[in-house]
Structure 1
Amino acid sequence: MSSVGLLAAAVGALALVALCDLFSLFAGFRLRAVIDADGGFVTAPQQAYAAAASLYETAGRYQGMVYLPCAIVFVVWFFRMRRNTGLLAPDRFRNGPGWAVGAWLIPLVNLWMPYRIALDMWGAATLLPSDGERYRARTWPVNLWWGLFAFSLLFNRYAGTTYQNAETPAEIKDAVTQYMAADLVHILAAAAAVHFAVRLTGMQRLKVMEGPYRSEVVKGASA
């Protein structure tokens, strides 16, 4: 599959993850509304609560079902981009191409090493300045994506632990609220991942076609 095809697959997978997160948000709002009805969970109709809780659990299962396939597609795209950008500027990389896959699989290491590889790819795909220009690679799309992704991952685990340990109506409501906040951050992280992936793929293709240095056309377009 071409880089553009992999990019389209990764964007589609991220969109599917975001849709499942939106469904989880809807189910969370519904569950909170049932808990708040008539003064709380104890007096709320048990049938309504059971239906809302079942919908919320279903939303969680959908999230789990789509997350792994999406992660696989994204990592395959990530590896392909590492290989392609490595051909453009091999001296900019601190690790071999295999780490573009392995970095995601090692606990704790996967909290920072993929980010370093992404920064290396971004720098390798950035066009070099023309004579007299100052070299400056703006890396905010990488920073935004990774910051939101890492935070959503940790926040989701914390919210999951809180939800599992919740017993009282107030605890259940607070746990659902935390899960909803985590879902919202995850949606933002998916959007940031799409932006990062599209930008990086475009930069890589432009550098292949235009050469390593910025042309006047590229400078005018960026201005």
Structure 2
Amino acid sequence: MLCSTCRIRPPVTAEGLCILCAGPAGASAPMPAAPPFASPQQQLRSPDGLAKAVVILLAVCAAADLLAVLAGLNIRSLLGDALGSGLATLDDAEANRADNLYVASGVLQLLVMLATGVVFILWFRRVRLNAEVFDASMQQMKPGWAVGAWFVPIANLVLPRRIAGGIWTASAQTHTDGSWRTVSVAPVNLWWWAWVCSGLFSRYASQQYMKAEGAQEVMDAAGRMLLSDAFGIVAAVFAILFVRKLTRMQGERAALGVYPLS
């Protein structure tokens, strides 16, 4: 049986209204709990553990990016001094060490990024399944897309943000009188655009660095890589803020004990 007004949520009043449609009058009504024998997609599971792992890995990503920045500065300093003297002072052994350090920092970035990506997607799937319990009507795509959307070329620049928007809206805690609380989507937008721009610029910078041949070209390409790595640090910070905020929102929403069912 559904609310006689919105036809979405279970009724909590004698008039057949849900807690949101009943307004203040429904705030004192018994709050329906999630079905005790619900299907897996209708059971809440805490995202806290995965969120902590994601935050730690994102911090490691930022540290790896910082190491890459330092390695890039070392290369630029070495080449800058050499170019000032017409390459006469360039020490091949020192140049090789600087290049090896830069390559090693790049490998570290890749490994950490892969590990972070796996755990982040697991967390993203968890909060998406919880959002299905909070309010399935807010979700425009099936829960499976919380994983699949990241692997669709081109579309992965749009679909995950669309899914995140539905999760964010459904996870917004309601006021004590049952009305919806408006929560700014700024953390979602900052995370998403920083991630997309960082990824696209990183690909461009990497291609330019691989094509560079002369000392001046290598120095210029290293400068672009420096900017890319710095952008990666910013993206990691925004991602941490997004993960922490959404995880906290879901904890507050779950504590409220109201789970609209479609």
- If the length of structure 1 is used for normalisation, what is the TM-score? 0.90
- Where do 1:95-134 residues align within 5 Å? 95-129=141-175
Range with greater deviation from structure 2 (200-209 or 34-43): 34-43
Alignment partner of 1:42 is 2:91: no
Give 5+ residue unaligned stretches, structure 2. 1-44
Partner SS, residue 183 of structure 2: coil
| Partner Cα separation in structure 1 for residue 70 and residue 76 of structure 2 | 10
Partner SS, residue 42 of structure 1: coil
Partner SS, residue 89 of structure 1: helix
TM-aligned CA deviation for residue 49 of structure 1: 1.0
Alignment partner of 1:9 is 2:53: yes
Alignment partner of 1:191 is 2:237: yes
- When Rg is computed on C-alpha atoms for both structures, the one with the higher figure is 2
Alignment partner of 1:61 is 2:110: no
Partner SS, residue 208 of structure 2: helix
What do residues 164-201 of structure 1 show as CA deviations (whole Å, max 9, x unaligned)?
11111111111111111111111111111111011001
CA contact (8 A) 2:131 2:171 kept: yes
| Partner Cα separation in structure 2 for residue 78 and residue 132 of structure 1 | 27
Letter in 2 for 1:3: P
Equivalent residue in structure 2 for 1:177, among 223, 229, 240: 223
Partner SS, residue 142 of structure 2: coil
TM-aligned CA deviation for residue 130 of structure 1: 6.3
CA contact (8 A) 1:24 1:59 kept: yes
| Partner Cα separation in structure 1 for residue 86 and residue 163 of structure 2 | 48
Distance 1:108 1:35, change over 3 A: same
| Partner Cα separation in structure 2 for residue 127 and residue 23 of structure 1 | 39
| Partner Cα separation in structure 2 for residue 170 and residue 40 of structure 1 | 13
Equivalent residue in structure 1 for 2:192, among 134, 142, 146: 146
CA contact (8 A) 1:127 1:212 kept: no
**Kindly, what percent of the aligned residue pairs are identical?**
36
Distance 1:134 1:6, change over 3 A: closer
| Partner Cα separation in structure 2 for residue 40 and residue 106 of structure 1 | 50
CA contact (8 A) 2:173 2:181 kept: no
What do residues 107-127 of structure 1 show as CA deviations (whole Å, max 9, x unaligned)?
111111001111111111112
CA contact (8 A) 2:205 2:225 kept: yes
TM-aligned CA deviation for residue 137 of structure 1: 3.0
| Partner Cα separation in structure 2 for residue 66 and residue 45 of structure 1 | 32
| Partner Cα separation in structure 2 for residue 66 and residue 40 of structure 1 | 38
| Partner Cα separation in structure 1 for residue 247 and residue 230 of structure 2 | 26
Letter in 1 for 2:150: W
Range with greater deviation from structure 2 (106-115 or 44-53): 44-53
| Partner Cα separation in structure 2 for residue 201 and residue 120 of structure 1 | 14
Aligned length, in residue pairs: 213
Distance 1:212 1:138, change over 3 A: farther
